[in-house]
Amino acid sequence: MASEVRQRAKAQSASPLGPLGIEAALEAKANPSIQPRPKIFDEFALTDRVAVVSGGNRGLGLEMAIALCEAGARAVYCFDLPEEPSEVFVASREYVSKLGNDSRLEYFAADVCDQQLLWKKVEEIGDKEQRLDICVAAAGILKPHIECLEYPADVFREVVEVNTTGVLFTAQAAGRQMARFGRGGSIILIASMSGSITNRDHAWVSYNSSKAAVLQMARSMACELGEKRIRVNSLSPGHIYTQMTAAYLDKQPHLLDKWSGMNPLGRLGRPDELRGVVTWLASDASTFCTGSDIIVSGGHHSW
């Protein structure tokens, strides 16, 4: 009976990379002809995979897209509102072309709030690449602080439309292709620590609400798509200095020290400090992780 259970459990969740860790050690013990080699980096490799990244023209989205390329993705398709990519995107695309791993960084213009356009564009990517494995929904906007009792309806709707509805439409577009090709996949919704805490000094009611909705969206989609081997997780950064937050901080320089002092590390985060976790979530190193929120906040929640 115990042997049967072990065999069923192994068959249920066998690694596509073959035996790993202890299992690999025991196999090598039983067969001295096997030459052990490190496999941990194989687990993180994204060789031949295809990804879409919203908000990928700059900032966190572009930073994550480059990381996926460095991990070996065949192509990473970034999209954003501008018809033409930014200079920093063009420089990043050139950088990726010189990595020597045949990875491609591509760009197309699209509004995350246009559901049918996104579905169509990502379907075209599926037709061209014949697979879709990774989605990073990173597009988002941030508005100046307005007292919650005075918050205008149009501003609230705009933030929620981009930060919540746009995330859903992006995840849908990618998930439809993942289901179509039957290989499973990883959908990563970029939320914020603001989705699970209240920022007392800058309580952006629309931003906090939209990001909280993304956390629940990831859990709900994970439950529904698990049987299709599509994993859905959220990634919640803390205070990161990007072009988006710079527009807010540069006008109120006193907030730099204040925000820096709100976590045990005593500083803001860098965009590149999210590279490792997004690559992990996209890769086979995290195949049992779904419905989770990964917080990268310098320990902000610890206080």
Phi, psi torsion values for 71, nearest 5 degrees: -80, 0
Match 């990875």 to its residue by tokens.
Answer: 103
- d(Cα 151, Cα 300) in Å, to the nearest integer? 27
- d(Cα 99, Cα 148) in Å, to the nearest integer? 48
Active site residues: 192, 207, 211
